């Protein structure tokens, strides 16, 4: 019998690594009584499990379990499971990310900085695993993958995970030689971008109807709330620059022309990862199937987003985003626009389209942009930039 104070999670037999050293221990629950669980180790960390061994376990045991503290090792091993497709792997990674996000957003739990620190560490592990699955994907393939994953009642969970995946893809397109650490930061920032919403009632966050002025004013506080929560923890974690994460959280609703919130920053003063997050945030809100509104095709979503280029989103990053959508004919037909205060982080019963102004001129958003124009964007991100500025 194993230490009853330990936490365990169940795993499917098909997700257990075979013919390679197992980076975790395997357990069974030998008790049929929920209140008297008895976990017994049946295979050790470091041992090599054969297909025949696993088949024997499947015939003998109803369910396998792994220690919660070994979840990160389990997630990292998924990419090596050659018989499991990317959809199934992503579903497991997404479920794990939701476990960590629920530590933050669950109203039934008292929030503590300790919980937040544990959740951030777990979210980092989920991002690491997701990078391995989607490293060769483009925007369209990520969008298709997301469409095959299950969604949950709490919009913030799914949306944050989706934004994380798009962040990874767009940042890698921007900086092809980015280090693993930098890519993780892009994904982790996307996963945590709505952190401040834990201070806002879920009745407002999950309201798919039109918010009152007072409710929207409360929503607009979440970047400040998130920045404060992160600062209060005074966290230090290997491979994580919390100053950069803080800027993503605080700046992802800033508009490129300075009309956003909370600080009305503009242009390249907004951190490049916050600008990337703004595009991922917007695109996911338009293209991900929800129970309360129909979604736009990729073509139409890009058309709608294109009408905000230079105003809401960074023109160069958006051009790069479009170029990362392969095998697609850009013939979006949507001629309407979204209001200036459209918030991608909010669920909507229906996308609040408005007629385009009479004097609206086609911005020709899909025209080629010379590669040299991306130089400044590529150079303005470094894990150490904010630390250097602080030191000076």
- The domain locations on the chain are 1-84, 85-391
- pLDDT at position 377 is 43
Residue with more model confidence, 206 or 271: 271
Mean pLDDT of 190-217: 88
Residues in the chain: 392
DSSP 97: H
pLDDT band at 383 (very low <50, low <70, confident <90, very high): low
Q: Say how far residue 302 (Cα) sits from the centre of its chain.
A: 20
| pLDDT band per the 50, 70, 90 thresholds, residue 293 | low
How far apart, in whole angstroms, are the C-alpha atoms of residue 127 and residue 298? 24
Regarding the domain delimited by 85-391, which CATH topology (the fold level of the hierarchy) does it fall under?
Hypothetical protein af1432 (1.10.3210)
More confident residue, 73 or 380: 73
Q: Give the pLDDT confidence score for residue 375 in this predicted structure.
A: 34
CB hemisphere CA count around 109 (13 angstroms): 15
Residues 6+ apart with CB under 8 A from 213: none
The torsion angles phi and psi of 309, rounded to 5 degrees, stand at -60, 135
Residues 6+ apart with CB under 8 A from 58: 13
Angle at the Cα of 150 (from 145 to 156), degrees rounded to 5? 95
Q: Are strands 39-43 and 26-29 parallel, antiparallel or unpaired?
A: antiparallel
* pLDDT tens digits along 19-69: 999 999 999 998 877 667 889 999 999 999 999 999 999 999 999 999 999
State the Cα–Cα distance between residues 212 and 232, nearest whole angstrom.
30
Per-residue model confidence (pLDDT) at position 290: 66
Mean pLDDT of 70-80: 92
CB 368 within 8 A of CB 225: no
Quick one: what percent of the chain has pLDDT higher than 70?
83
- Contact between 243 and 271 (Cβ < 8 Å): no
End-to-end, the C-alpha distance of the chain in Å comes to: 56
Q: Left, alpha or beta for 239 (phi > 0: left; psi -120 to 50: alpha)? A: left
Q: Are 69 and 77 in contact (CB under 8 A)?
A: no
pTM reported for the whole predicted model: 0.84
pLDDT in tens, 314-362: 999 999 999 998 655 555 556 677 777 777 766 666 777 777 654 444 4
């Amino acid at each position: 019998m194993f230490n009853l104070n330990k936490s365990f999670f169940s795993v499917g037999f098909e997700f257990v690594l075979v013919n390679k050293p197992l980076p975790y221990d395997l357990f069974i629950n030998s008790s049929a009584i929920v209140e008297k669980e008895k976990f017994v180790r049946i295979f050790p960390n470091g041992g090599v499990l054969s297909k025949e061994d696993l088949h024997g376990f499947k015939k003998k045991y109803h369910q396998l379990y792994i220690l919660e503290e070994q979840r990160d090792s389990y997630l990292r091993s998924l990419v090596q499971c050659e018989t499991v497709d990317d959809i199934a792997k992503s579903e497991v990674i997404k479920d794990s990310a939701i476990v960590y996000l629920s530590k933050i957003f669950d109203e039934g739990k008292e929030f503590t900085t300790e919980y937040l620190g544990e959740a951030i560490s777990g979210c980092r592990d989920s991002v690491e695993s997701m990078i391995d699955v989607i490293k060769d994907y483009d925007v369209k393939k990520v969008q298709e993958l997301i469409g095959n994953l299950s969604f949950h009642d709490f919009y913030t969970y799914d949306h944050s995970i989706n934004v994380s995946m798009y962040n990874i893809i767009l940042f890698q397109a921007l900086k092809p030689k980015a280090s693993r650490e930098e890519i993780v930061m892009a994904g982790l920032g996307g996963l945590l971008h709505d952190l401040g919403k834990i201070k806002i009632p879920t009745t407002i966050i999950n309201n798919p109807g039109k918010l009152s002025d007072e409710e929207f004013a409360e929503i607009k506080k979440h970047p400040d709330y998130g920045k404060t929560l992160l600062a209060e923890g005074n966290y230090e974690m290997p491979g994580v620059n919390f100053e950069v994460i803080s800027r993503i959280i605080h700046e992802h609703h800033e508009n490129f022309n300075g009309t956003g919130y909370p600080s009305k920053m503009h242009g390249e003063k907004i951190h490049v990862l916050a600008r990337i997050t703004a595009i991922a945030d917007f695109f996911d809100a338009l293209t991900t199937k929800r129970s309360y509104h129909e979604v736009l095709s990729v073509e139409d979503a890009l058309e709608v987003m294109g009408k905000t280029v230079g105003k809401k989103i960074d023109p160069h990053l958006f051009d790069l985003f479009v170029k990362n959508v392969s095998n697609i004919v850009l013939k979006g037909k949507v001629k309407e626009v979204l209001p200036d205060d459209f918030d991608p982080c909010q669920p909507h019963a229906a996308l609040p389209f408005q007629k385009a102004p009479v004097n609206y001129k086609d911005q020709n958003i899909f025209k080629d942009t010379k590669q040299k124009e991306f130089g400044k964007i590529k150079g303005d991100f470094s894990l150490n930039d904010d630390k250097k500025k602080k030191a000076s």
